[in-house]
Amino acid sequence: MHRFANPARFQRLASIILPWSDVLTAGLLVSGLYFALFASPADYQQGETVRIMYIHVPAAWMAMFTYSVMAAASAASLIWKHPLADVAARAAAPIGAGFTAIALITGMLWGEPMWGTWWVWDARLTSVLILFFLYLGYMALVNAIENPAAAARAGAILALVGFVNIPIIKFSVDWWNTLHQPASVIKMGGPSIAPSMLLPLVLMALGFHFYFVSVLLRRMRSELDLARVRALEDAIALNSEEAAA
């Protein structure tokens, strides 16, 4: 694993992966959107609004997947002090927050025609909203600490605490939901989903994953470049100080 701790090796690897993941992202999203918007049937109950699902469901999956990636990277950073793991966790957070926001917004847009309201305090919606706040808290903490090493360490601890707490929060929200309102909401999907709808969903989900890889690698690269710029600036400042002395 520490083979990839070398930033130069990572940059080389990233430049190999990036073209592939870019092409796959574009291909999967374009074909996924074609099937989602044109080549799949409208739902017999939900009509055309069912097409929101092809964005909404993959975004919700990615919201959880990204937090798992962050937690795994944070664990690697704390346990093995792997320098790139810090960068990865930090770079993943805004992407995850973005997916979570997309899931929430498309959920509201879908809820309005389906349930007649923009927001339902459904257990799932509420959990995703809380996940959004966990992302925001992580980003706020990491940005508030100036020393990069301290920020990475604090962020890693917070991400892991959040990860361990997510099942408990989820459980408590389900508990709360069953107490306050019996399932008034149409339960989505189930295992039986028509193949014509499954295909665009899978294409979009895969497209979202490769999009995540592309953006994550780019963000990690720019973080590494930024670290290098900072180091160079420090060196120049030190030199001019010595020259002045």
Partner 1 sequence: MTRTLFALIKRDLNLAWRQGGGALLGTVFFAVAVVLFPLGVGPEPNTLARIAAGVLWVAALLAAVVSLDRLFEADHDDGSLDGLALLPLPFSLVVAAKCLAHWLASLLPVVIISPFLGLMMRLEGDALGALVLALLLGTPGLSFIGAIGAALAVGLRRAGALLSLLVLPLYIPALIFGVAAVEAARMGLDPAPHLMLLFGATLFAVVIGTAAATAALKFDLE
Binding residues vs partner 1 (CB under 8 A)? 78, 130, 133-134, 136-137, 140-141, 144-145, 150, 153-154, 157-158, 160-162, 164-165, 168-169, 171-173, 175-176, 179
Q: Which C-beta is closer to partner 1: that of 17 or that of 151?
A: 151
As to burial, measured by CB atoms within 10 angstroms (0-12 exposed, 13-18 middle, 19+ buried), residue 223 is middle
Distance in Å, CB of 168 to partner 1, minimum = 5
**CB within 8 Å of 67: residues ≥ 6 apart:** 96, 131, 134, 135, 159, 162, 163, 166
Distance in Å, CB of 71 to partner 1, minimum = 13
Rounded Cα distance between 172 and 62, Å, is 22
DSSP 8-state symbol, 143: H
Alpha-helical segments (H) within 116-147: 123-144
Rounded Cα distance between 73 and 216, Å, is 12
Q: Which C-beta is closer to partner 1: that of 132 or that of 208?
A: 132
Distance in Å, CB of 165 to partner 1, minimum = 5
Distance in Å, CB of 233 to partner 1, minimum = 23
Count CB neighbours of 233 within 10 A. 10
Q: Name the residue with tokens 């997309």.
A: 102
Q: Which C-beta is closer to partner 1: that of 4 or that of 171?
A: 171
Q: Which C-beta is closer to partner 1: that of 71 or that of 158?
A: 158
Q: Which C-beta is closer to partner 1: that of 161 or that of 188?
A: 161
Q: Name the residue with tokens 């508990």.
A: 175
Distance in Å, CB of 137 to partner 1, minimum = 5
